[in-house]
Amino acid sequence: MSDLAGKTVLVTGASRGIGAATAKAAHQAGARVLLHASAPSDAAEQAAGAAGGELVFEDLSLPGAGGRVMAAAVKAAGRLDAIVNNAGVYIPSALEASDEDWAAGWAQTMAVNVQAPADICRAAVAHFRSQGGGVIVNVASRAGHRGDGPDHAAYAASKGAVLAMTKTFARALSGENMLFYAIAPGWVETRMAPQDIENRKNAIKDIPLGRVASPEEVAEMIVFCASGTCPSATGATFDINGASYVR
């Protein structure tokens, strides 16, 4: 098991799915955990209880939200050693949509999936410089490499941006003991995974492993990266897709 003893970790989008599993895994690895959620909910309370952590609430679609999340987390903990940018939205951006719906889908997707994590990274760099380093793990997607269905171009584009951002910051800042990693899952057993029987069958046909990934599998890789066990892997993207997309 990766060791996070004595470290403090912030996980965004932590009320369910990959985020909740990551918060719990980080807690089990010895970390103090701060869990971000968009708003109070039973799911957020349950995730915080499982991780023995504290909640920070912020709607990441709003301007400046990423900076506010970081400020609240630093105020609560005093020091952050690792940050997991997991929060994201999967909003349709169909070519046949109205102009208004098309624009709104792209705007909200970019706000939550790109601008908020970028602002968090920016604030984290300043924080890490004050303490001699830190780790950021950005959750992207297989779609950032291979694209997605025609109704989710905005999502694929946003995750491609996250991958490029992660590589850029790793190249620029690893010499200052700031490590950046990206995780690119395919289908994971969360609300985003196909739910109807036919779509589920088609999704699994595309996965040589024969099943979608579990949130816990993804969480273990995130916690490994957050532990800083392998600094030389900074800038790397870890694919978790059952060999459905092999680069």
Q: Which residues belong to the active site?
A: 155
Euclidean distance between CA atoms 8 and 6, whole angstroms? 7
Q: Which residues of 159-184 are buried (b: 16+ CB within 10 A; e: fewer)?
A: bbbbbebbbebbeebbeebbbbbbbb
Describe the crossing of helices 153-173 and 116-129 by its angle, rounded to 10 degrees.
10
Euclidean distance between CA atoms 210 and 141, whole angstroms? 19
Euclidean distance between CA atoms 239 and 236, whole angstroms? 10
**How far, in Å, are 2, 135, 222 from residue 233 at the CA level?**
15, 12, 13
Q: Number of C-alpha atoms within 13 angstroms, CB side, residue 150?
A: 4
Euclidean distance between CA atoms 76 and 150, whole angstroms? 42
CB 226 within 8 A of CB 9: yes
Euclidean distance between CA atoms 10 and 209, whole angstroms? 31
Q: For residue 69, give the nearest of 112, 26, 5 by alpha carbon.
A: 112
